[in-house]
Structure 1
């Protein structure tokens, strides 16, 4: 489904809504694959959004955190209305979730963040050095142009993880 401002989302189940926001360069599928196996029989409505310009959501003009936030506010208002809800954010989605928690402070009953961006200004961030753990050699045949990106974004390097990314 898409909102009027072309933010793509999927909704599962009934009950109190949880809105899920993924990290940068991911899509709603990353949250669906992780959370649905243990939430599918719950009493929660799960709403998985694709951030603007990612997944199946349309890009926005002059994309920056302010315009992404504005687009998310409009989309959540359209999907949720005045209902109370829980908000989940991962990485950049966690950064957005912190701002959304302030904006929707009268509606949000819980906030769950994993690896959230707290300070977005790159020069003020303290990040651990990225390390690859090579579990096994990887046969890189199809989509070889993406292998360096795969290495830069993943820690556990094996054939299965490469297959999941390249397809």
Structure 2
């Protein structure tokens, strides 16, 4: 069953509470907060839902970040710190003091690390999928590759959508396009363009989350794509010293959207992470 929570309504136009992020919720049990990446929305992470649905005892909250999907925009400057504070307010309001796990992809991976730094005792563990670690210009990136390309398909696409698709997709064929169309494109169409551009000016926290807290003993998973030319896969190794119980996997045949390029592998890794968390929880 799905429950959607949007802006609180008053007389006239909706007036969102400052803490409130739109989210889609499934299941019951231990909460898992799922955070998407830049210029996307919660639909980017919905392909992971079968992993959770196959297991009992997990309450999944797929959130839209500020200015994305159906969530309200930030009322002040759009910075990493402001995004992080919005996520903290959401988690504290919705979950109170309840322990939880977190899944973050790309930019959402940085926000997941922020949650660990700020709410560490309550965080059971995190799954970081292609997480952002270093700023552009300082990343160790593999050579850009395209492993499949259908020129007829690309020629038939809307030019603007084709540009976004080909800028990130490793598989530029029917299968790659279908996954992108269903899970990436809806959020790209819905995000606030000016806010997204403003965030790029200060998208990293002034202090890395790991510098603000000690090593975290939760159960963690880091999954990267071997052909990820956006954030790479080498820089994420820096995180392991801070997360002593982390499993790290670099998946061949996968780009930045590693969970779309190699779903079976990512689902297996995520399932193992959840089962390990459940064993400790129970």
Q: Structure 2 length as normaliser, TM-score?
A: 0.54
1:143 paired to 2:147: no
Quick one: which of 57, 74, 82 aligns to 2:89?
74
CA RMSD across the alignment: 1.9
Work out whether residues 34 and 60 of structure 2, in 8 Å CA contact, stay in contact via their aligned partners in 1. yes
Aligned to 2:64: 50
Summarize the Cα distance change of 1:155–1:53 in structure 2 as closer, same or farther, 3 Å threshold. same
Q: Which residue among 111, 120, 130 is the counterpart of 2:144? A: 130
> Per-residue displacement from partner, 1:78-124 (whole Å, max 9, x unpaired)?
111110001111111011111110111121011111111122x2232
- Contact 2:154–2:162 (CA<8 Å) still a contact in 1? no
The Cα shift of 1:160 comes to 4.1
Name the structure 2 match of 1:29: 43
- Relative to structure 1, is the Cα distance of residues 79 and 140 closer, same or farther in structure 2, using a 3 angstrom cutoff? farther
Q: Which has the larger radius of gyration?
A: 2
SS in 2 for 1:52: coil
- Work out whether residues 130 and 152 of structure 1, in 8 Å CA contact, stay in contact via their aligned partners in 2: no
Listed as ranges, the gaps of 5+ residues in structure 2 are 8-16, 187-282
Query: Is the Cα–Cα contact under 8 Å of residues 103 and 126 in structure 2 kept in the other structure?
Result: yes
DSSP-derived class of the 1:105 partner: helix
Residues of 2 paired with 1:8 and 1:53: CA distance?
Answer: 10
Q: Which runs of 4+ in 1 moved over 4 A?
A: none
Structure 1 CA distance for aligned equivalents of residues 149 and 22 of structure 2: 35
User: Which of 102, 109, 115 is matched with 1:87 structurally?
Assistant: 102
Report the number of matched residues: 165
In structure 1, how many angstroms separate the alpha carbons of the residues matched to 2:67 and 2:88?
Answer: 15
Q: How big is each residue's C-alpha offset from its partner over 1:63-92, in whole Å with a ceiling of 9 and x where there is no partner? A: 111110011111111111110001111111
8 A Cα contact 2:23 2:61, kept in partner: yes
Structure-1 separation of matches of 2:39 and 2:158: 17
User: Can you list the C-alpha shifts for 1:4-27, whole angstroms capped at 9, x where unaligned?
Assistant: 334110111011111111121221
Alpha-carbon contact 2:102-2:112 (below 8 Å) kept: yes
Q: Which residue of 2 aligns with 1:18?
A: 32
